[in-house]
Structure formats: C-alpha cells, structure tokens
A and B are shown apart, each in its own frame.
Chain A
C-alpha cells in the first residue's frame, strides 16, 4: 500500500518535472523565435547599410601552412571521419526508437534488449563524433581562416543554435541510455520513449543545420554575386540544394547505421561462446541487415533526385558531375552499390538455412542470382570503354554498338530498378520460408504475385528500352520516374498481398536462430565496409564538384590545393580515412564489450 503510494508520488513528481521542462522549453523557443525575428529586423537594417561585406578575394598567402601538413587532406579526413560517426550516431537512435516502440507494442522483451544494445554501441561513438567535430572545426579555423570567418559571419545564428542543440541532444542521449533500466514499465516507458523522440528531433535538426552550411557552399543563397549577405539567415539555410541533400543524407544515414550495427552483431556472433549468444547476435544481425536493406532500396531514388536538382541548379555543375571528369567515379560507385546489393542478398539467402521450410524456395535462388548479376553487369558497363588498339581497330571506333547503349542512363535506371525488385523478391522468399499459408486462395494469390512482378519488370524493361533507343535525351532522363513508380508500386503491392496470403499462416517449425554460416557474417562486414567507403567516395564528389570554389561563384579557392585531384588520389584519401574509421569503430565495439566484463583478482582486495 505504502509502496504503491510512493510510486504514484514519484510518478506525479516526474510528470510535474516534465511539464516544467516542457513549458520552459516552449518559452525558450518562443523567446528565441522572437529573438530571431528581431535579429532579422536588425540584420535587414544593417544589410541596407552594408554591414556584411563582400566575400574576400584570397591569395595563396591567405592560407596558413603549418608544419608541412596538407591542409586539404587534413580537413578532408577530419570531415569524413566526423561525418561517418555522425551518420552512425544520428541513425542509431532513429531505429532504436522504432525498435523500442515495436517492443512496447508487441511486449517482446527481445526488442527492448536489442534496442538497448544498439544504443550502447553508439554511446562511445557519440563522444568520438564530438571530438572529431571539434577537430574538424579546429582544422578549418587553422587552415582556412578566411573561409571560416566568412561562413561564420553568415551563419553565426545557426552556429549558436547548433551548439545549444548539441547540449540538448547530449542530455537526451545520456538520460535515454543511462535511464534505460530505470525508466521501465507502464508510464515510465512512455517517458523514456518521449526522451527518445526528443533525442531524435535534436539529432535530426543538428544534421539539417550542418547540411545548410555545406549546401550553402554548393548553391549559395541570400547573398549577392559579390558575396554580400542580405541578412536573411533563412534564405541562406533554405538554399537550393538543402532539401535534396537532407533527404539523401537522412535515408543514407539509416542504411549506414544499420550496416554498422550489423557488423557489430556479426563480430559478436563470430566471437560468441554459447549457442544462446549466437542465436541472439544472429537475430540482431538479421534485424540490422533488414534496416539497412529497407533504407538501401529507396536510396538510389534519393540520389537521382539530388543529381537532378544539381543539374537544375547549375548545368555546369551537372556536366562536371555526370559527364566530365567525374564520370568514371560513377563506375566505381556502380561497383560499390553492386557489392552492397549482392552482399545483402547473399546474407538473406544464407539466412534461409535458419528455417526448415526454406527448401521450397532455395531452388529459385540461382535465378535471382542470375538476374541480379546480369542487371549489375549492365549497371556497371561504362559509357567510355577502355580499349586496346587492336580492339579499337576491330570495332571501327571507340563506340560499341551493343555495349554503347548500356552505358547511358536508361539502361542503368532499368538495371537498378530490376536489382531493387529482385532484392525485394529475395526478401519475400525469406519471409515466406518458414510459413505455410492457410487461406483457400493461395494459388490465386501466388498467381497474382507472379503476374504483378512480371508486369512490373516488363514495364520497367519496356520503358528502359523504349527511352534508351527511341527518344531524345531529355525524355531519357525523365523515363526514370515511371520506372521508379513501377518499382515502388510492385514492392508495396506484393508486401500487402503477401500479408493477406499469410494471414493466420502456420509456421513450418521453429526458426533456428544461430544456424547460419560464418560466411554470412562476412557478408555483413562487406556491407559495412563497402558502405563506409562508398560514403567517403560520394562525399568527395559532392564536395569536389565545386572544383576551385570554396563557395560556388562567390568565394574562390586560391590555395595550392585548389586543383581537383585524380580519382586514384581521392580513393587513396578515402581509403586511409576508412581504415582510421574502422580502427575507431573496433575500439568502440571493444569498449562496449569491456564495460560489461568483470574480473575479480584473487587476493587483491582486503578480505573481510
């Protein structure tokens, strides 16, 4: 009796405290909005009197050289490391939040344990993110003082809120993590989930702000051609490429976070001592891979949207991006994305060994593989072929009449859509593997599924071939939209249909978690490594298409490093950074493991 009252009392106190915090926050936000408005008024006034000067025109001597350090490479590596960790620590709370919610709804404690383990992995990574962010800031100020000064003048407001939000995020994360076991059950669980929401809101806003700064450098807004800022901070933030980058990064971060925790689970699986542990980490790896694939499927579309917007913003930038010196980078990208798709699929196929009913579907795997590899070969075929002189003579020119059309966009769009559909199909087989449908219309349902996939693929192929060979270029690019829609419709419809077919289905047998070969774990590693490297590479091109501009058309880079490096050089920098990152990630995993192990040295402590 007494105890329950004190419990209620404590609950009331928490509610009160939360209410106070909310009200305080609301006031704070309101106050700040007012302050922003006031500041904008002032800014508008001062802008009229020319308080913001034009962008400085720099000379080589405006770039300090310090102890022979290559400033560009230093900033590049710090920025990339910071970004990898940031992507990871922003993504993990997003799906931890979702997993926690699923756990609350299904009342399956495994979900809660997994969510806790995910967040545990990210907590050390969080402080590393902050440290690397500090290093990045420091190196920017040291090596590019003029650029930083100019940017800080425009974004001083958002930089302040960035710092503020960072504290909010830290506080939310620490309460969320350390309060996990304390805030359990009933109302407290809801409080915990709410803190998770605050954590995610703060984290995502942080990302949006940082994105604004870098997209400003690509598509400056709110400044005149000389670089004089008009005082409208929102215009500078909401620049042309801000939202395309926001979307692309948000989706990619989730896929990336999934792949990294997948690698964590894979490592724990490989080093697990007991069957129970193996089962647990197998299940965790499966979920991580599931998250990564779910986010991976829409990612190419987000990428196309971003590229299209870059074209729309500046044709010069678009040509540099797709047709000029960076064209070969997309061949490397194709190899990496192919690696991602193949390893994710391989993991699914290996995972079918967990259920006894999978035999019914394994015979299809070779066909899936043939289509995936075939589509991948198209996706990978370069527009400009590397030919020996003999081949050149034999072909009668650098253009290949069969392979040439495979090198342009319609063929590649077709290939990637087919790859996505077949990955979804792989996944459908996996989900069906352990189930037996009991509804009376199973055969009809399956026939509809077959028809659906056939029609979808036929439509994609038709669009690809028609637009690839028979229309002019502007429609070639436009064809990707109906293809994407077809893919999305097929996937959504087949998932819905399957959920009806397998309503009240029976399980073939228990799922044998842990019954998966070690090779599959290496597929998870491959996923994480390829993803990391790919992000580094694409980060390079995103930044590289500015070429010799700090801020495109506003502030020129006149440092000795203003040149655009060859792809090999860029790849080497990315590789060095990726190895550094992997070493740090291993450290993070190790720390997460050490924190749970206890040793009792005999005879060390006083007996008594």
Chain B
C-alpha cells in the first residue's frame, strides 16, 4: 500500500497544482497569459475552497492542523520550530520589500475602454442625441439588400483607406502600425467589443476619437483620430456597416426584433 500523503501536504499540493495549472493552461497551452491581478484573486478563492473541503469535518481538520500544532507545541521539534519562526518573518519581510521596491515598470493604468456615452454629443457641428441616433442605412439591410451590399462595399473601401493601418485588414486590431501603439487598437472580432455596443456608440467613438473621450475614460492615451475632421457622416455610417458585416456581429439593439 502506498504511503498516505499527510493532509497538510495534500492541501498545499492542490494549491500549487492549481496555481501551476493556471499558468500552464493559459501561458503555455492557450498562449494567452493570465493577468497577475486576476490570478491572485483566483488563488484567493481557490484557497478558500480548499480550506472548505479540508476542514468540513472534525477528523479531517485535526489531521490537517496536527503538523502545525506539533510544530508549535511538540518539545522534540524545537530546532525546526526555531528555524521556521526565523524564516517566516524574514520571508514576509522580503516579500514586502520586493513588493514595495520601486521598479522601472510603468504604473498600471486602467482605462475604461467603453465608457458610458453622454446623452448628447456635438458631432459635425450638430447636437446629436446618442440614445435615439440610428444608422440611416441599417434599414436597407432588409428593404434593399443589393443597395445595402453596395454600401457595405463602399464602407470596406473607406476602411481599407483609413482604418486598416491600425485595426488590421482582418479587423482583429493587428494592423501594420498596431505594434507601435499603446493601448493597442481594438479587435473588432472579439465578442466583447462592437458586439456589445450600439451603432450610435460606434458613431460617437469614431467621429470624436480619442480626444472626445469623457472624463471617466482617463487617461486619454487613445491615438484614435477625430474622424469627423476627415470623413463625411455617410462614410462613417458605411464603415460601421462594414465592421458588423465583416465580423458577423450584430449591433446591440434595445428591442427584440
């Protein structure tokens, strides 16, 4: 019969296993690293879960804490105890030191990528109500599919001439200049971007660009140009048609169709 692993070690192994598992799965297998802030919270709750499973009954709990109890109370473990009692504060001190030590890493800045839009915005010199604004060409999708297709193609042309340098010819945010930008251009293929937004929202973001971001979207480091200075109103609406058409997303609407 194989030797039974002590419960405390079991718990520790589970935690280490989950931790390594997260890193292996995300960073190696999926090639998309797990953010350290998120991993910290994940591990906090995994630890809570492990604690719950290992302590719901009396016997198990006793077995779990027995080594710790022995370490503190057992006279024969004096040497280990003294070593541990020196190492633990030192480790805590070191951890604090490295945490607080200034580094060359720029501070984490969190931008709200999709700030709540204002009710109205001044676009093309007009005060526009963003809640009511609709894409004037959207209705053609059903009424006149041929003309709609044409408009989408025109939108594609506008996109290729203006947008693809950053947002990429696959609309995946990976254009030729994307690597030079921080924050990187948005990936429209992602379900979390344009699929979550209304067309009026896109119209507002495209036409007023980075400088038109509201206060809560600080820091205003977006390099999105103010497109109302370069494109016509119709061109922007057509590009929006193209964005949804190419990615296969549907713009968010408030009513069921």
Complex contact flag A–B (Cβ < 8 Å): yes
B18–chain A nearest beta-carbon distance, Å: 9
Q: Is the CB of B192 within 8 A of A387?
A: no
**Across the interface, which residues of B come within 8 angstroms of A478, CB to CB?**
256
B70–chain A nearest beta-carbon distance, Å: 20
A454–chain B nearest beta-carbon distance, Å: 22
Interface of B is mostly: loop
Q: Is A69 an interface residue (CB 8 A)?
A: no
Query: B49 is contacted by which of A372, A468, A519 (Cβ under 8 Å)?
Result: A372
Bound Cα distance from A404 to B35, whole angstroms? 12
Query: A408 is contacted by which of B117, B178, B196, B251 (Cβ under 8 Å)?
Result: B196
Q: Is the CB of A384 within 8 A of B110?
A: yes
- Using A369-B49, A384-B110 as known contacts, say yes or no to A407 and B192 having CB atoms under 8 A apart: yes
Q: Is A316 an interface residue (CB 8 A)?
A: yes
- Using A362-B57, A517-B61 as known contacts, say yes or no to A405 and B33 having CB atoms under 8 A apart: no
**Across the interface, which residues of A come within 8 angstroms of B30, CB to CB?**
401-402
Q: Is the CB of A384 within 8 A of B113?
A: yes
Q: How many residues of A contact B (CB 8 A)?
A: 63
Interface residues of B in 19-63 (CB under 8 A from A): 26, 30, 32-38, 41-42, 45-46, 48-49, 52-53, 55-58, 61
Taken residue by residue from 383 to 398, chain A's Cβ proximity to chain B (1 for < 8 Å, 0 otherwise) reads as: 1111111111111111
Q: Is B190 an interface residue (CB 8 A)?
A: yes
Bound Cα distance from A402 to B28, whole angstroms? 13
Q: Is B1 an interface residue (CB 8 A)?
A: no
Taken residue by residue from 344 to 373, chain A's Cβ proximity to chain B (1 for < 8 Å, 0 otherwise) reads as: 011001101100000000100110011011
A96–chain B nearest beta-carbon distance, Å: 30
Interface residues of A in 445-473 (CB under 8 A from B): 468-469, 471-473
Q: Is A182 an interface residue (CB 8 A)?
A: no
- Using A319-B117, A325-B116, A408-B191 as known contacts, say yes or no to A389 and B32 having CB atoms under 8 A apart: no
Q: Is the CB of B191 within 8 A of A403?
A: no
- Using A384-B113, A408-B191 as known contacts, say yes or no to A365 and B53 having CB atoms under 8 A apart: yes
Query: B42 is contacted by which of A362, A377, A395, A517 (Cβ under 8 Å)?
Result: A377
- Using A324-B115, A408-B191, A517-B58 as known contacts, say yes or no to A387 and B131 having CB atoms under 8 A apart: no
**Max chain B CB contacts within 10 Å: which of A376, A380, A472?**
A472
Q: Is A320 an interface residue (CB 8 A)?
A: yes
**Across the interface, which residues of A come within 8 angstroms of B34, CB to CB?**
403
Interface residues of B in 51-108 (CB under 8 A from A): 52-53, 55-58, 61, 105-106, 108
Q: Is A338 an interface residue (CB 8 A)?
A: yes
**Across the interface, which residues of A come within 8 angstroms of B35, CB to CB?**
385-388, 391, 400, 403
**Across the interface, which residues of A come within 8 angstroms of B191, CB to CB?**
404-405, 408, 468-469
Interface of A is mostly: helix
Bound Cα distance from A307 to B233, whole angstroms? 34
Interface residues of A in 562-584 (CB under 8 A from B): none
Stretch of B137-145, B150-158, B181-189, B235-243 on the interface side: B181-189
Q: Is B119 an interface residue (CB 8 A)?
A: yes
- Using A372-B49, A403-B38 as known contacts, say yes or no to A324 and B116 having CB atoms under 8 A apart: yes
Q: Is the CB of B46 within 8 A of A391?
A: no
Q: Is the CB of A472 within 8 A of B192?
A: no
Q: Is A342 an interface residue (CB 8 A)?
A: yes
A519–chain B nearest beta-carbon distance, Å: 6
Bound Cα distance from A214 to B108, whole angstroms? 39
Q: Is B122 an interface residue (CB 8 A)?
A: no
Q: Is the CB of B173 within 8 A of A396?
A: yes
Q: Is B216 an interface residue (CB 8 A)?
A: yes
Bound Cα distance from A327 to B217, whole angstroms? 13
**Across the interface, which residues of A come within 8 angstroms of B173, CB to CB?**
396-397, 399
**Max chain B CB contacts within 10 Å: which of A315, A387, A389, A408?**
A387
**Across the interface, which residues of A come within 8 angstroms of B174, CB to CB?**
396
User: Which positions in B face A, CB cutoff 8 Å?
Assistant: 26, 30, 32-38, 41-42, 45-46, 48-49, 52-53, 55-58, 61, 105-106, 108, 110-117, 119, 131, 173-174, 178, 182-187, 190-193, 195-196, 216, 249-257
5 closest residue pairs by CB, A with B: A324-B116, A472-B250, A373-B49, A349-B56, A397-B184
For this complex, 5 residue pairs linking A to B, each with C-beta atoms less than 8 Å apart, are: A365-B56, A385-B37, A389-B182, A402-B26, A473-B196
